[in-house]
Structure formats: structure tokens, C-alpha cells
Structure 1
Amino acid sequence: MHIGFIGLGNVGGKLAGSVLRNGHELTVLDLNEDLVDAFAAKGAKRGASPRSLAETCDVIITCLPSPAACAAVVEGPDGILEGIGPGRIWAEMSTTDAEETKRLAQLVIGKGGEAIECPVSGGCHRAATGNISIFAGCTRATFEKVLPLLTVLGRRVLHTGDIGSASILKVVTNYLATANLVSLAEALTTCKAAGMDLNTAYEAIRISSGNSFVHETESQVILNGSRDISFTMDLVAKDVGLFQSIADAHQVPLELSPLVLKIFEDGIHQFGPRELSPNIIKRLEVLTGLDVRAPGFPAEMYDDEPEETGYEVVPQRGQALAAE
């Protein structure tokens, strides 16, 4: 299968690496030529334009920082729409707006192609090893065509329903992770202020009902001081904003989400949009004068699970009820 990959950033570059590592023919495209050069050195082909990838590749993947960037690649001059047709599939792996994804998908389908949205969740360290989780929104027929590729890109693959459903679930899970990050920043700072040993505090949270995926990953790089998860405050604000927009569209009167967004807007104001997202704790460090770090924690997260072929996750509870 010939794969075209557009967007070689923090997440996209790692996903594209899984494609190449597993023996697929790969053509790449990015505004940063240094990133393209690095992939070319490993055996990937250089793409000329989104249109050229759509004309020559079986699946064209986009993994871009914003809905506007994706729209420009799909429907802009020399874009995917100018080259895609029957037998080609556009796969959107960005964290983006559900309605915009549906709009662009219909344009692709109108050209005779197929479309799938398949955002990922689980951290850059798992994207690097092909062990990340993938939400896939599309027709069942398209899902089954792309599933062999998705099980290379990720470990657990969930078909979420029609196009738009995966985008909604992705921003929901990102919102939950962000709310957890803010609460962990408060918890760790409070432990420091109370004179607790932070190694002990980390373990207490880890073995208790307070534990979470975010604690086991982001708390470690917070305590190291690097705060590096390859994700920035502007991207957090975008994702929480998308979640809030979904709630607003359905008239859900949220209370926590606006506060989380306000906290990150303040973090961006103080430290800049490209500040690493776990450094939201710096707001509290500045206010308290505390240094919330401890020895022995890693500067980056690495996936210690071996790379394995992925599989489809099938929801069980609804099926059990239907069978009764």
C-alpha cells in the first residue's frame, strides 16, 4: 500500500515513522523541508504537492495543527481535491472540528474518493512505537479497507461511527486529560507547599484512586522539570475550545470547561503559546515561589511496551444488552 503523509510534526512525524518502519511505500510532504529531508534519508519519497499525493497514493493522511490548515491542504490550490478520485482514501488524523471534517469529507466523496477521520490518543511516546489508540469515523466499508493500515499506526482501533464521531470523541478525551493535568498541577504544588516528599506524593497518587494515565506520564516530566510531552499550550487551548464549542452547540451549560480554558489562556498570556502544556504548573510556581521538582524522574516519556500489531476494539456493553 502506497501511503502519502502530509504533516510531519510532533505526532505526524511519529505516525509516519510507523508507516515507514513497517515496510509501506511512503511519500511525505511538510512545510518544514528539514523534516522531509530526514524522512527521505530513511527511504521515503518527497511529495511535490497535496494534489500529487492524491493522484499517486492509495491513502493520503493529513496530520495538521488546525482545521484551517487542513482545509487549505484539502481544498486549496494544488490541494487533495484536485487529485483524488475513485480508489483513493483521504485519512484525517488531526485533532479538528467535527463539522469541518464532515464538510471536507463530503467534498472528497463527491470526487469519487473515500474519507475517514482517525485521530489518535495516548501521547507522542506511544505514537512513536505504533502503540497509540485510534478513533475511526467513517462507513464500515471504508473502515475495513483502512483497518490493516490503522493497526500498523496504532494498537487499539475503535470504529466510532460516521464521520464526525471520532473528532468529537477525540476532543472529549483531550478535554478530560487537560482537566486532569490542571488538577495534578494543583495537587503537586499543594504537596510541595505542605512539605511532602514529592517522590512519595507521586507514588501515593499512582497507587490510589487518584491515579490516571495523565499522572503516570505528565506528572513525571513535571517533576523532572523538563515538562516535555511534545505538546504546547496553544494546542491545548484549541482542543478545549473545540470541546466547548460542541457543548455550546448542544446547549450544555458547562462549568469546568470554561475555567480550564481560562487557565490556559492565562498560561499563554504569561509564558507564550508555544510553551509546553505541563508548564501550566508554572502559574502556581510563580504565585507561590515554589519549585515543584524532584530527583529521579525522566525528562521524556518512552513507551516501554514492545510494538505489536494492533486490533479493533469492539464495544461490548451495548452488544450484551442487545442480546438479552
Structure 2
Amino acid sequence: MKVGFIGLGNVGGKLSGSLLRNGFDLTVLDRKPELVAGFVGRGAAAAGDAANLMRDCDVVITCLPSPAASAAVMEEMLPEVVPGKIWLEMSTTDDAEIRRLAALVEAKGGTAVDCPVSGGCHRADTGNISIFAGCERETFERVLPLLMTLGRRVLHTGPVGSASVLKVVTNYLATANLVSVCEALVTAKAAGMDMNTAYEAIKISSGTSFVHETESQVILNGSRDISFTMDLVAKDIGLFQAIADRAGVPLEISPLLNEIFRDGQERYGPRELSPNIIRRLEDATGLDIRAPGFPPEMVDDEPEEPGYEVVPTGIARPVAAE
């Protein structure tokens, strides 16, 4: 199987690295020549453009920063889509847009899957990240071996578009947790607590979470480097709000989160690291929320393990139609 990968950024570079590490015939494309050169130096081939990549590969994976970027790349690739071609969209994108693009691919005889990832860049680097996959069951079983190389826990979410909805839902929850963690850490500091002790108290309590156990560490280190930026957070929580608006759900927390990140981008710039949203509170209080002994970035210390399908609680394992 020849695999093409478009988008070698913070997440895509790590996901494609898993393919290369596991012996896949990989061709890559990115707007930054230095990123492509790094992969070529490790044994990948370089594509001239997106159309050539689709023509020459069996599967093309995209991992791009916005729905607009994905649409632009698909416009280039679409003339080369023929029966048997598979497109895996691993970007965090708009569910309506992925359904629109998937319909174009399927009209040409190809197959489309939206399969965003979740779990942090450090887990993408080791192949231990989680993957949601939206597609027909038969298609899911065709691409499952590839997805189990890219990630560890793979969940079939339903038809195309469903994975993108659930990815945006989970990113919304992570953002809400990040803001609440920032408030908790600053309040603990203002109350005179030792920050190392505060971190451990939260970690061993009912207040802990994935976000606390990862992002709180780089916040306390001071690097704030989780390989994710404020503009990307704003995109994701904006997509969540759009889903809720279309469904007529009167959200209360979501509009406030969107306003917080709009303000954060205005203050510190859209490419500021997302955990630095805590700076709004540091600036307001004059407090420095740092503590010794925490790492500058997260590293996945779990060994790379074979992936597997996650079956939802209460649902029998589905099978492809005969």
C-alpha cells in the first residue's frame, strides 16, 4: 500500500512519522520544504503537488489547520480520484464540510473517511493517540489496519461527519477544562498554596483530568508548550458553537469560552501557545504561576503498542454487511 500524507505540522508530522517508523511506503507533501526534506532524509518520497500524490498513492491522508485548507487541497486532488482511492481526513474540521467533500470523492468512485485524532501531540509521536473514524462499517474494516498503526485506540463513530462532530465535542471539553485549570491554579497561588502540592492535590482527587495531568505541567514549568496555539483552539470551539447553534442548543459556557479566547488572541496573538491563556489571570493578579520540577513539554513514556478497536459501552461489536 502506497500512502500519501499532506500536512507535516505538529500533529501531522508525528502521525506520518509513525507510518515511516512502521515501514509504510510513504510520500509526503507540505508547504514548508524543510519539513519535507526531513522526511526524505528518513526514507520517505516527496510529492510535487497534491494531484500527483493522489494519482500515485492508494491512500492519501490530510492533516491540515483549517476546513478551508482541506477544501483547497481536495480541489487539487479531486481530478485524480478514481475507484479504489481512499482519502483519510485527519484534520479537525467542520462536519458539514467533510460531508460535502466526501460526497465529491465518492461521486468519483473513491472512499472518504473523517478520522481526527485526540490525546495530544506527545501521543501522536508514539502511535498511542486515539482516533475517531466516520465512515461505513465496511470501509472502516478496510482502513482499520492503517489506523491501528497511526493510533492505539480506534473508535468507529458512524457515518462520515460523525467523527468530526465528536472530535469538536472533545476539544470543547478540553478547552473548558483548560480554562478551569488555569483559574484553579491561579486561585490556589493567590490563597498561598505551594504549587507543587496544589498540582498533586488536584491530580489525586476528583478534580483531576487529562488536561490537568498534561497541560498543568507545562504551565507550571513556564514553557506553556503543548504544541497547540490559541487560533486553533478558537477554531475548534467555534466549530462546536456552530454545531450547537444548528441544533438549537442554548449553550451558556461555550459563548464565554469563545470570548475568553478571542480576548487571549487580541492580547497575545493568535499563534500564542494555548496554555498561555493563563496569562490573562497572571496579568490581572500579578502572580507568576510556575513551580520547579515540571517538564517543558510532554513526552509519552508509554511504549508504542499495537492499536485496537474501541467498542462503545452497551453496544455489540458491529460487523460489515455481507
For Structure 1 versus Structure 2, the TM-score category normalised by the shorter chain is over 0.9
Q: Does 1:3 align with 2:6?
A: no
1:261: how far off? 0.7
* CA positional deviation for 1:80: 1.2
Q: Offset at 1:319?
A: 3.5
Question: CA separation in 2, counterparts of 1:19 and 1:102?
Answer: 26
> Which residue in 2 is equivalent to 1:19?
19
**Structure 1 segment 280-295 matched on structure 2, within 5 A:** 280-295=277-292
Partner of 2:199: 202
2:162 matches 1:165: yes
Normalization by structure 2: what TM-score? 0.98
**Alignment match of 2:234 (pick from 233, 237, 243):** 237
Q: Which amino acid aligns with 2:5?
A: F
2-side partners of 1:6 and 1:188: how far apart?
A: 38
Amino acid at match of 1:273: P
> For this pair of structures, how many residues does the alignment match?
317
Structure 1 counterpart of 2:117, from 94, 117, 120: 120
CA deviation after TM superposition for structure 1 residue 251, in Å = 0.4
Task: For residue 86 of structure 1, report the CA deviation from its aligned partner.
Answer: 1.1
After the TM superposition, list the runs of 4 or more consecutive aligned residues in structure 1 that deviate by more than 3 angstroms.
none
Residue 211 of structure 1: SS of its match in structure 2?
coil
What are the within-5 Å matches in structure 2 for residues 1-324 of structure 1? Answer: 1-75=1-75, 79-319=76-316
1:317, distance to aligned residue in structure 2 (A): 1.2
Query: What are the superposed Cα offsets for residues 73-115 of structure 1, whole Å, 9 maximum, x if unpaired?
Result: 001xxx1101111111000000000000000001001111111
Which SS does the other structure have where 2:169 is aligned? helix
Q: How many angstroms does 1:158 deviate by?
A: 0.1
What RMSD in Å do the two structures reach over aligned CA positions? 0.8
- Tell me which amino acid in the other structure corresponds to 2:13: G
In 2, the alpha carbon distance for the partners of 1:85 and 1:203 equals 54
Deviation, 1:3, is 0.6
Deviation sequence 1:45-99 (CA, Å, 0-9, x none): 0001111111111110000000000000001xxx110111111100000000000
AA aligned opposite 1:67: P
- Give the fraction of aligned pairs with identical amino acids, expressed as a percent: 72
Report how far residue 288 of structure 1 moved: 0.4
* AA of the residue aligned to 2:242: S
Equivalent residue of 1:318, what SS? Answer: coil
Alpha-carbon shift at residue 262 of structure 1 (Å): 0.4
Aligned-pair CA distance for 1:318 = 3.3
Counterpart AA for 1:41? G
- TM-score, length-scaled by structure 1: 0.97
| Separation in structure 1 between the aligned mates of residue 305 and residue 290 of structure 2, nearest angstrom | 34
Query: 2:159, 2:113 → 1: CA distance?
Result: 9
Could you tell me how far apart the structure 1 residues matched to 2:220 and 2:268 are?
A: 19
Amino acid at match of 1:275: E
SS in 1 for 2:301: coil
Q: Give the match's secondary structure for 1:317.
A: coil
Cα distance in 2 for partners of 1:103, 1:245 equals: 16
Specify the SS of the correspondent of 1:191: helix
Paired letter, 1:149: L
Q: Distance in 2 between the 1:255 and 1:108 partners?
A: 37
Measure the CA separation in 1 of the matches of 2:227 and 2:302. Answer: 20
CA offset at residue 315 of structure 1?
Answer: 1.1
Consecutive unaligned residues of structure 1, counting only runs of 5 or more, are none
